[in-house]
Structure 1
């Protein structure tokens, strides 16, 4: 069994955290940087992140998050957001690809042109679905990286997204997707069963 296999199996949703344990801002930034290697549609990287380490703000957020104790007791809450207008960053992203030597300017220019021609004509709801899917890959990568470093996490979709958006003054194109509590477990997570692969998979050979 590889180390990655072990991390995937060890990661569980922890809901009880040591309220006195802290994680440095720099450590969370490192996790976010590595998580941003996740794939995304047209490489537009539509995830946006708010990290809440302030205890008073975590307490306030708990009221928005259905009174879930882990919001207040964890070392930090990482809010994963999506940007339905991420395509507007295409020029910056692909010119950076050129600067880093990944693609030629010609390829970048064609990609920018195609992106700016396509995405504005896609319905906003579809763009939000794309952003949510991509942000989900980012979130999963973040949680696995956290576990690899000895931290515990739990993802929470059960919070008042309208109140969250208002509290953090989100622009209309940026919307909350999930909250991730991160810290040190004070009590172990419950084990969970998994349905067999054959129950959800069809092979054509």
Structure 2
């Protein structure tokens, strides 16, 4: 069932860990969901993410030990590795030049933004911080888009990033952030309680 109400999607999203291993997801469906993920906000619109997709059982089996043998990695219809871009400052031209060509940005504004970006990426901690924060925005948007289209997901932090990089020849430009399984559940995911949000809010004075 497709859901068009945002708050219903948020309320019904669950971390599903038991999938029907016989359900396949078409690549065009994954592309559509990742396109939605790619519309997430990002610092300077540099889109500090890349997606490594595992969508057939042979590669999912290779991924299984990297994810400490979590069976959902094998049984899901696909697994998406969210990668953070440590060199997103290289995206300046492909991101800004089309806007200049369409008259939506001036060359002068691009130069101002370029200096800001270069200043940020010259700081030692910034590329990693930006990779994590911005790629995580895309990850959450992917999971919500998937739920809206009737797919369940689960974010996974328990995996070996170094082995993932080695086994699947991930460029040193990219940092593994998380894995996300996607598929159809064999059993309803457990609903989890949340802390009272009022205890997690401070009002600035």
| TM-score (norm: length of structure 1) | 0.93
User: What stretches of structure 1 of length at least 5 have no aligned partner?
Assistant: none
SS at match of 2:137: helix
Q: CA deviation at 1:105?
A: 3.0
Counterparts of 1:88-99 in structure 2 under 5 Å? 88-99=90-101
Q: Give the 3 Å change call, closer, same or farther, for CA 193–90 of structure 1 in structure 2.
A: same
Deviation readout 1:109-146 (Å, 9 max, x if unpaired): 33234323x134110x3311111111111000000000
Distance (whole Å) between structure 2 residues aligned to residue 149 and residue 120 of structure 1: 37
SS at match of 1:72: helix
Which residue in 2 is equivalent to 1:179?
179
Q: What is the count of residue pairs matched by the alignment?
A: 202
8 Å Cα contact 2:86-2:173 kept in structure 1: yes
Distance (whole Å) between structure 1 residues aligned to residue 139 and residue 20 of structure 2: 22
Distance (whole Å) between structure 2 residues aligned to residue 142 and residue 99 of structure 1: 30
CA RMSD of superposed structures (Å): 1.5
Which residue in 2 is equivalent to 1:158?
158
8 Å Cα contact 2:120-2:126 kept in structure 1: no
Counterparts of 1:122-201 in structure 2 under 5 Å? 122-123=123-124, 125-201=125-201
Counterparts of 1:22-101 in structure 2 under 5 Å? 22-101=24-103
Which deviates more from structure 2 when the two are superposed, residues 148-157 or residues 97-106?
97-106
Distance (whole Å) between structure 2 residues aligned to residue 56 and residue 180 of structure 1: 17
Which deviates more from structure 2 when the two are superposed, residues 106-115 or residues 139-148?
106-115
User: What stretches of structure 2 of length at least 5 have no aligned partner?
Assistant: none
Divergent runs of 4+, >4 A: none
Q: Give the 3 Å change call, closer, same or farther, for CA 3–161 of structure 1 in structure 2.
A: same
Distance (whole Å) between structure 2 residues aligned to residue 110 and residue 203 of structure 1: 34
8 Å Cα contact 1:91-1:112 kept in structure 2: no
Which residue in 2 is equivalent to 1:9?
11
SS at match of 2:64: helix
Distance (whole Å) between structure 2 residues aligned to residue 105 and residue 127 of structure 1: 25
Deviation readout 1:42-83 (Å, 9 max, x if unpaired): 211110110111211101101110111110101100000011
